[in-house]
Amino acid sequence: MTKALTGMYAALMTAFDDAGEFSEDRQRGLNDYVLRQGLAGLYVGGSSGESGLLDREELLAQQAVVAESSKGGGTKLIAHVGMPNLRDSIRLAQQAEKLGYHGLSALPPHSYPFTDAEIVSYYRELAAATDLPLIVYEVPVRTGRPIGLDALVETLGLPNVAGIKFTSTDLFKFSMLRRRCPEKTYFFGFDEIYITGSVLGADGGIGTTYNLLGKLYVALEATLRAGDLPRAQELQDISQIFVEALLDIGVLPGMKAGFAAIGIDVGATRAPMLARTADGDSRMATLLKDARIAPWLA
């Protein structure tokens, strides 16, 4: 059985101008770099894109710019449309469909302590709003709690729901989901331990650090598919060196400092998000010159 959405996707970041406003020009520069890395696709408008700090109109504008940048290149586009209210989510989903996106994804509703039944209801309505396949999302670190296994199985059984982005360390739960719903697509969301998700049957990954090091993750996935586990471990170690540094600096501020270090200005992160260290720019510039990291830049 062929699955429509598989492989390695960059969880695309968002570019701002010097005043902190969404910048179409800078977004195009970012898109151009990410698209050169051989990834299967882009995951647009998610947490890595600071979507929780953007309004609906900015996310609609970003969708359009990315669709334009990727036109004719064979890149798959998944629009993340998980907003605090269902009406905005549906508006984003319907525009993505008109723009030619290949799929949708959405955080579960998380503005309040919603029940599993309310989460399933949200996904049911969102999945019915377009004809695009929907990738649901399990990410307790972002939403504050895991979704129950039974609720996830029920959600994966909804019409138009094609799979799940699983960003949780509960790998037994991941395996149970795969056994219960083997026909669905499974994306693994932790860059630094992608190898574990792949070995357990993930169909691909969606990650923040793929923006800068997409070539590394494409190689990691190819090595795993070829069965060369020792080489895959070497590549995962490189990923972990990079992620460890980001965690000290702040993941998104560090990524943006990394882009600045290679001459691509994507602006700063939007307030109130700040770097955790004062020397983040210099540390990222040094890190990207490291002989283990530099060959994987596009």
Which residues in the chain come in under a pLDDT of 70?
1
Q: Residue 236: exposed, middle, or buried by beta-carbon count in 10 A (0-12, 13-18, 19+)?
A: buried
Which domains are seen in the chain, by residue range? Answer: 7-226 (3.20.20.70)
47 contact partners, CB below 8 Å, separation of at least 6: 11, 80, 107, 139, 142
Give residue-wise pLDDT tens across range 198-235: 999 999 999 999 999 999 999 999 999 999 999 999 99
Dist. CA 123–CA 86, nearest whole Å: 9
pTM higher than 0.95 for the full model? Answer: yes
Cα 69 to the center of its chain, rounded Å: 18
Does the active-site annotation cover 137?
yes
What average pLDDT is seen over the chain?
97
Catalytic residue (choose from 33, 137, 194, 217): 137
**Per-residue pLDDT at 3:** 87
Catalytic residue (choose from 165, 184, 210, 256): 165
**Per-residue pLDDT at 100:** 98
> CA-based angle 96:100:103, to the nearest 5?
60
**Per-residue pLDDT at 74:** 94
**Per-residue pLDDT at 1:** 58
